[in-house]
Amino acid sequence: MEIYVARQPIFDRKLSIFGYELLYRRSLNNFYEGNDPDQSTAELINNSFLSMELNTLTGGTRAFINFTEDTLYNEIPLLLPKESIVVEILESVKVTERIIEVCKKLKQLGYLLALDDFVFHERLLPLIEIADIVKIEFTSISFKKQRQIIKQYKHNTKFLAEKIETREEYHLALDMGFDYFQGYFFCKPVIIVGNKIGGLNNNLIKILIELNKEDPIFKNVSEIIKRDISLSYKLLKLANTQFYLSRNKITSVEQGIVRLGINEIKKLIYLLMLREVETIENEELIKTCLLRGKFLELLANEIDLKNKSLDFFMVGMFSSIDVLLNRKMESILDELPLNGDIREALMGNCDNYIRKSLNLLLNYEMSDWHNVDKAIIHFPIPHERLLELYIVTLRWVLELDY
């Protein structure tokens, strides 16, 4: 059976991650919003909690999971740890005495409850009084009405704005009093006052230029690294990690360079470039870029392009560097010693395997399962392998400590 699970971040007012909504599809012919939502919820729970580590999917935050009338009626949320989930009550749930009874029980036991796709109606009043979070699709109700609802119920309920797609919408929702924000606005540029734009660390670029020479001089690389205390520490830390561990501890930059090799040093430099521009506003996008890089590297290995895996890694890592630096992609690429395949893939001017891989992943992130199916045709891997690679990648991002 083909199973896909993606996630969409939910932010608090400080742009810290509060949780992730799990977006799910269980087969080629059954979408999450399809004909059997009870089956979808059951499969999602099974695959998230029994077949995977929930912590990997959510990074230790909360998983927002949709529950139907039948799954609530049968108290299915009680199978899951209260500290790890938010019980989303679908808009299609009929408000009966039994449903109210179950919701009160869940609340008393410490579960967080959220009303999904909320539109005010008298019949929902009993649930509004119980719910911890009310989710409102930001563009589906007039802003005036949203303000009225928030003002009326904010004394005992938090409000979550769904489908926030731009930074402007985020700031408007923030001003309106929403507590949480869900959507892909974090992938959009931050508006910067004045002419300030992001730059790349010159030392890191110098190292890349040297490593990309036909015959790199490692003494030059080590001298640049040794001039940067932070970079020296991170290289030694990486060289002494479990992955590279041997009997002899690495104690010098020169030894670290020899142990790691050119490709691993390049990967370290690319990781550090992203970390250099990390702020609270782009923290989740940085994680997304890290995820993309590792996922594409693993995918390259799967399709017998291991010799190109570093190229795949770099395309994933730099896929949103234009957003992070608030600059045009072309001007950034002009500063970096990248080969033609990487440049073309990042510019979107080609249809090579690297670009196809990135498009596949971008569709997966957006839970655009239809286009995932169309894209995966180009790759000799089974559908279920995508989810396995996604989970491995999420775990890698969680464990990353540069």
Whole-Å CA distances, 337 to 63, 200, 204: 40, 13, 11
207, two tokens: 């190292």
Locate 123 and state its tokens.
């019949």
- Contact predicate 37/89, CB 8 Å: no
Say what the pLDDT of residue 1 is: 47
The reported pLDDT for the residue numbered 50 is 42
3-state DSSP call for residue 142? coil
- Model confidence pLDDT, tens digit, residues 66-112: 888 888 888 888 888 899 999 999 888 888 899 999 999 999 999 99
Provide the β-strand partners of residue 264.
Answer: none
Domains of the chain: 4-187 (3.20.20.450), 200-276 (no CATH), 288-402 (no CATH)
Query: In sequence order, what are the beta bridge partners of 162?
Result: 137
Q: Which two tokens stand for residue 250?
A: 């690495």
- C-alpha closest to that of 180 among 216, 224, 131: 131
Per-residue burial over 345-383, b = 16 or more CB atoms within 10 Å of its CB, e = otherwise: bbeeeeebbbbbbbbbbbbbbebebeebeebbeebeeeb
Here the tokens at position 143 are: 């802003």
What pLDDT sits at residue 378? 87
Tell me what the mean pLDDT of segment 205-227 comes to: 84
pLDDT digit string, tens, across residues 239-285: 776 555 556 787 888 888 888 888 888 888 888 888 777 777 788 99
Contacts of 87 (CB under 8 A, 6+ apart): 65, 67, 72, 77, 106, 111, 112, 113, 114
Q: How would residue 195 be classed by pLDDT, with cut points 50, 70 and 90?
A: very low
pTM of the predicted protein model? 0.80
- For residues 238 and 401, give the distance between their C-alpha atoms in angstroms, rounded to a whole number: 9
Backbone angles phi, psi at 5, to 5 degrees: -135, 120
Percent pLDDT > 70 in the chain is: 86
Q: Which residue has the tokens 């001089």?
A: 217
> ∠190-195-199 over CA atoms, to 5°?
70
CB contact at 8 A, 114 and 131? yes
Joined tokens for residue 252: 């010098």
Neighbours of 341 (CB within 10 A): 18
pLDDT tens digits, 36-69: 555 556 655 655 544 456 788 888 899 999 888 8
Mean pLDDT of the chain: 83
Q: Which residue has the higher pLDDT, 83 or 117?
A: 83
Single out the residue of 223, 211, 332, 321 nearest to residue 268, CA to CA: 211
CA distances from 157 to 111, 149, 182 (A): 14, 10, 17
SS3 state at 112: strand
Tokens 């949103």 appear where?
Answer: 320
